[in-house]
Structure formats: C-alpha cells, structure tokens
Amino acid sequence: MLKEKVRLLPQLPGVYKMKNTHGEIIYIGKAKNLKQRVSSYFIKNSQHSKKLLI
C-alpha cells in the first residue's frame, strides 16, 4: 500500500512527514526530489536513524 503511494509521488521538491504506528509525527523532512527521497526509506540501510529502523 505505501509503496504504491510512493510510485505516485512527483519527482519535484516537497516536504514530507513520517508518523509512527500511533499516528504521531516523528520526522519532517524536505527533498529536492520527493519521490526519490521517500523511496529511500524503503531500502534497508543501517545508516537510518533508530526511529526509522524500528
């Protein structure tokens, strides 16, 4: 479901927010290429913060 939404994102600058399972905002970010940046969170990466790895 989320990966499908990422495919629909534009390759334009934008702001995004990440929420935890309780709906609380845990991170707000901005990107030059919104689609590319948000997609990067779906790739396993040990450099992601502990908030994102859980």
Joined tokens for residue 11: 């390759």
What pLDDT shows up at residue 1?
77
Residue 54 has pLDDT above 60, yes or no: no
Spatial CB neighbours of 23, under 8 Å, sequence gap ≥ 6: none
pTM to 2 decimal places: 0.68
CATH of 2-53, one of 3.40.1440.10, 3.30.830.10, 3.40.50.12160, 3.40.50.620: 3.40.1440.10
What are the residue boundaries of the structural domains of the chain, listed by start? 2-53
The pLDDT, as a whole number, for residue 50 is: 59
25-51 pLDDT tens trace: 999 999 999 999 998 887 765 555 555
Secondary structure class of 6 (helix, strand, coil): helix
Q: What pLDDT does 35 receive?
A: 94
